[in-house]
């Protein structure tokens, strides 16, 4: 939200950065250098050195030593990860790998709970040793590409990756909150006609006596279908892009277009896109030609607005539900 001072100069609220600050405090003790330092202090350093000798190329250790750094700063070993599993995130962040990229492989996905839950996957066949060999190879590639390295640079590299991760997580939250908000608006439109209601599903009777199903899910964010005698017929695919960042909204509309195309192949015939950023609709239409109707989320929040009336009327017309 942007306020203005007496002279009309905007005063921006750093809400996103405050949120990042709070999250960063948690990551300090699980994924960053503070967590590694605390863990190493509790270990037998000779055992750490022994495993570094087993899993890391001697030339890489020598290069790190020339920078005044110990091997575990860049390279993971089983002894360290068994003691604090969440440090897998330390190395992932250092190597510049997003969670999506790192864990999309089926084998790697089996290690996700180390980072997320600080839980160990151990025992025969756990693959921890193979994981450390693989990551040591990645660390070696990183080390070979840099002329110098110190603890500050290690942290900077981690924070670059973490910043993108936190922003992605915030965007996901914004998207979920916006979808829930639209679902709530629809709930109000069908009050009095609901025959079944759940956290992510509404079933209502329309004017023709047929059941209309509104599902709050993903891809599309909200799907509206009608139950026929022999089948469930898809009606409306609703994509919600609630972010207000104008610089990113065009990418979001492109994502909505892909989702609508999938919905079209499944038999939907109306495609609505609800956006949080108010952009030029002609441009938006070019970027998502499948969209049959755009709505502004900010206006939908106002029950007396023309945008709300338009949404209500179109919803009523397409699904045959009398608005509340």
Q: How many domains does the chain have?
A: 2
In this prediction, residue 174 carries a pLDDT of 65
Dihedral over alpha carbons 107, 109, 113, 119 (to 10 degrees): 0
Can you give the pLDDT at residue 13? 75
Residues 99 and 236 in one domain: no
Does residue 158 lie in a domain region?
no
Say whether both 232 and 189 belong to one domain: yes
Q: What pLDDT does residue 246 have?
A: 65
- Rounded Cα distance between 200 and 217, Å, is 7
CATH code (residue 187): 3.40.91
In this structure, the answer to whether residues 74 and 120 fall within a common structural domain is: yes
Q: Per the domain annotation, does 121 fall within a domain? A: yes
- Answer yes or no: do 130 and 209 share one domain: no
Indicate the SS3 state at residue 236: strand
pLDDT at residue 280 tops 90: no
Residue 190, in any domain of the structure: yes
Alpha helices per DSSP H over 209-272: 249-265
CA–CA dist 112, 213 (Å, integer): 36
pLDDT at position 228: 86
One domain, residues 33 and 109: yes
Check pLDDT > 80 for residue 46. yes
Question: Among residues of the chain, what percentage have pLDDT more than 90?
Answer: 44
Q: Are residues 68 and 180 in the same domain?
A: no
142 in a structural domain = yes
Question: Does 155 reside within a domain?
Answer: no
Instruction: Determine the 3-state secondary structure of 247 from DSSP.
Output: coil
Q: Examine the domain organization and report whether 99 and 220 are in the same domain.
A: no
- Domain termination residue (choose one: 118, 149, 180): 149
Mean pLDDT within 243-250: 69
pLDDT digits (tens, 9 = 90+) for 164-223: 877 766 666 666 777 788 888 888 888 777 888 887 888 888 888 889 898 887 778 889
Could you tell me the residue range of the domain that residue 54 belongs to?
A: 2-149
**Closest to 105 (Cα-Cα) out of 131, 79, 77:** 131
Q: What are phi and psi of 198, to 5 degrees?
A: -135, 180
Q: Are residues 135 and 204 both part of a single domain? A: no
Same domain? For 121 and 43 the reply is yes
Give the torsion sign (CA, 254, 259, 262, 267): negative
Q: Residue 243's pLDDT band (boundaries 50, 70, 90)? A: confident
Query: Confidence band (pLDDT; 50, 70, 90) for 143?
Result: very high
Residues 219 and 286 in one domain: yes
Q: pLDDT at position 322, please?
A: 65
Smallest CA-to-CA distance from 292 within 270, 275, 310, 311 is with: 270
- My answer on whether 41 and 119 are in the same domain is yes
pLDDT of residue 184: 84
Residue at a domain's end among 85, 115, 149: 149
Is the per-residue pLDDT at 124 higher than 60? no
Q: Which secondary-structure segment (H or E) carries 225?
A: strand 222-227
Lowest mean pLDDT among 73-77, 188-192, 238-242: 188-192
- Are residues 141 and 177 both part of a single domain? no
Residue 156 maps to a domain = no
Closest listed residue to residue 292, CA positions, set 320, 321, 319, 256 = 256
- Does 175 map to a domain? yes
Question: Considering the entire predicted model, what is its pTM?
Answer: 0.61
Alpha helix segments (H runs only) across 88-190: 88-94, 99-103, 106-109, 112-117, 128-144, 151-189
Is the separation of the CB atoms in 292 and 270 below 8 Å? yes
Query: What is the average pLDDT value for the chain, to the nearest integer?
Result: 86
Instruction: Tell me if 101 is assigned to some domain.
Output: yes
């Amino acid at each position: 939200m942007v306020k203005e001072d007496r002279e009309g100069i905007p005063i921006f609220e750093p809400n996103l950065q405050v949120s990042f600050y709070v999250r960063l405090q948690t990551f300090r003790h699980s994924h960053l250098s503070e967590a590694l330092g605390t863990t190493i202090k509790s270990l037998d350093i000779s055992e750490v050195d022994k495993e570094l000798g087993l899993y890391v190329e001697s030339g890489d250790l020598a290069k790190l030593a020339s920078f005044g750094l110990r091997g575990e700063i860049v390279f993971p070993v089983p002894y360290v990860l068994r003691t604090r599993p969440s440090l897998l995130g330390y190395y992932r962040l250092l190597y510049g790998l997003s969670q999506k990229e790192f864990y999309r492989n089926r084998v790697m996905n089996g290690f996700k709970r180390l980072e997320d839950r600080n839980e160990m996957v151990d025992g025969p066949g756990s693959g921890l040793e193979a994981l450390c060999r693989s990551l040591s190879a990645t660390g070696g590639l990183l080390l070979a590409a840099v002329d110098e390295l110190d603890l500050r640079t290690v942290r900077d590299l981690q924070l670059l990756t973490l910043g993108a991760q936190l922003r992605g997580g915030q965007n996901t939250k914004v998207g979920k909150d916006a979808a829930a908000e639209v679902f709530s608006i629809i709930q109000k439109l069908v009050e009095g006609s609901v025959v079944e209601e759940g956290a992510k599903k509404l079933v209502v009777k329309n004017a023709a006596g047929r059941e209309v199903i509104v599902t709050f899910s993903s891809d599309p964010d909200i799907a509206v279908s009608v139950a026929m005698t022999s089948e469930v017929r898809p009606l409306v695919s609703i994509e919600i892009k609630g972010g207000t960042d104008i610089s990113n909204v065009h990418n979001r509309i492109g994502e909505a277009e892909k989702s609508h195309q999938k919905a079209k192949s499944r038999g939907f015939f109306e495609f609505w896109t609800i956006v949080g950023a108010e952009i030029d609709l002609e441009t938006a239409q070019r970027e998502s030609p499948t969209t049959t109707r755009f709505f502004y989320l900010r206006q939908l929040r106002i029950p007396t607005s023309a945008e709300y009336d338009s949404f209500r009327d179109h919803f009523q017309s397409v699904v045959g539900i009398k608005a509340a």
